[in-house]
Structure 1
């Protein structure tokens, strides 16, 4: 095995430990979070090596000063059209590593202090959340023909997704054992592998019984609830398939209900249920738990949207009464930088 020459200040040693020990074990970061961090550092290391005209294996803490990191963020914002949110997330990822390194080796705190002076970008006002009216949801759920096998599947999927306000990935991860029709509950596995248990209605439980009789006549607890058959074997359904049949049924529902939006996607069912629960009086704190949001601030989009709806209604009522890029650099998203220099495995 070839020995990698480490930077003189131990930069890659700390970066390897951050990826292999701190993020997955101490912080318990989700796989998607770690992947995002790897992408950030691959892009940053490539930029630093190019900017300072050194081999990427010779990058040190000294080269990652405030001017260089700021230059990287601005370069990516211009050439890759990073939004303020993406810019701030990448900056937070970089700072997180420097905070870890400073805690492990206090003499490195000077580099963390240098990066602390980089200001985050101001994020624009939150756009109103796109959701459907109750009439539009009703029309969408009634669009499939439950007398056919695929119609039964599509209808139950959308009914359950709406009832739970679940994410697409959470729905596709469901197993037969996750739905308890006696207790009227469903167990979901959310982001960061965080479980939560939600109630379902008796009507939804009845739909499940009819669905299971066709798709799970001899149920096995670990079997995926929603699947497609490939090579004569059931495999977990893909999110592309879900997006496709929801678009198809939305097109059918539009003929019955003009309130159905032109573009309906799976997440819109989650947004719609969340908005309807909020409008029905569910407190934001409870809605946060229901949706599995790690940050309560995320749930405020529904309060904001509801306020805007009321504002537009007021404006309409008042009006009625007063009427007379550049190409990506070659090193963008190249996993080999981190893997080669930090000894990481896929």
Structure 2
């Protein structure tokens, strides 16, 4: 006889192993993201409702449970409205699949459909750190310890490449060439790109590999944890955790470091530095692996606003001329393109 628990985990297993990869054609990165969402949700449920994982059913995963999970993560992890909505969409996707496979479960999907999405900011914002803050953050780990050496190299490499968190975690030892000073990344849509690194980053890499990859197997994950005596790719939760720890430590001597630092902020910070140093937007688009060149305009927009504010301070009390009309005034198409940008 099939129990409610058996039904829940059977559908969840088929969603991961059949629906997502075969029917929907989801990328391995998308499946990994969904897996992280469900791992966090089930762990939260077990902790807050004291329900053993083996006894979780569709009925237990009601609207109040999912809202509590999303709100908790937004408070403790600093999830943005976009992240909140993406995780909610992932959970609903599973319930939609289950309701299709077993129509009697449609009532649970209807319950979750009542959860409203959060409103995302109308204007794209780029949160990045100054070079002073970046310098303090990268110097925070104690490189004399093995863990500190790993954390420092991860942040240095991520900043140098302006890479996404998932791109970093997908790197293998063979993807980095310290002689040619290049790194091969696999971006969104499984699109490869090769980026340069500087000599200092290459030196950090050699110290790191000497400590963590004595056997030098090119196929091993560059950044890993030991699980059941095997090297497995490090999780994004682990990266977020040590980044918060080092940011808190560095903030004691450098107040410029924001209160909430997340991995993607390193990517934004490097991109802004490259743009401010004169890198053309077309080249920056290729560097960042953006499929849509307009996505990169968020850095130009942010830099324009920064210059506008600096100009306003410099001329305060001197000029009485009316402010310049923004170039997008009366051009709703430009506004819509800017507001629709995502990274």
Query: Could you state the TM-score of these two structures normalised by the residue count of structure 1?
Result: 0.61
The residue aligned with 2:123 is 125
With over 3 angstroms needed to count, the CA separation of the structure-2 counterparts of 1:265 and 1:42, relative to structure 1, is: closer
Distance 1:201 1:257 in 2: 25
Alignment of 1:1-346 (within 5 A): 24=25, 30=27, 79-82=114-117, 124-126=122-124, 128-319=125-316
User: Can you list the C-alpha shifts for 1:2-36, whole angstroms capped at 9, x where unaligned?
Assistant: xxxxxxxxxxxxxxxx9998963xxxx63566988
1 or 2 for the larger relative contact order (CA 8 Å, sep ≥6)? 1
Distance 1:158 1:146 in 2: 12
Conserved in 2, the CA contact under 8 Å of 1:45 and 1:56?
Answer: no
Q: CA shift at 1:320, angstroms?
A: 6.4
SS in 2 for 1:229: strand
Distance 1:139 1:208 in 2: 20
Q: CA shift at 1:41, angstroms?
A: 6.8
Q: CA shift at 1:193, angstroms?
A: 1.2
The residue aligned with 1:101 is none
SS in 2 for 1:306: helix
Q: CA shift at 1:279, angstroms?
A: 0.5
User: Can you list the C-alpha shifts for 1:212-249, whole angstroms capped at 9, x where unaligned?
Assistant: 11101120010111112234332211111111111111
Alignment gaps of 5+ in structure 2: 1-18, 35-85, 105-109, 320-343
Distance 2:91 2:263 in 1: 27
SS in 1 for 2:218: coil
Query: Could you state the TM-score of these two structures normalised by the residue count of structure 2?
Result: 0.62
After superposing on structure 2, the runs of 4+ consecutive aligned residues of structure 1 that deviate more than 4 Å are 18-23, 31-47
Q: CA shift at 1:318, angstroms?
A: 3.2
Please give the root-mean-square deviation of Cα atoms over the aligned residues, in Å.
3.1
**Would you say how many aligned residue pairs link Structure 1 and Structure 2?**
240
With over 3 angstroms needed to count, the CA separation of the structure-2 counterparts of 1:21 and 1:42, relative to structure 1, is: closer
User: Can you list the C-alpha shifts for 1:232-271, whole angstroms capped at 9, x where unaligned?
Assistant: 3322111111111111111111122111111111110000
Distance 1:185 1:124 in 2: 37
Q: CA shift at 1:81, angstroms?
A: 2.8
Distance 1:156 1:260 in 2: 19
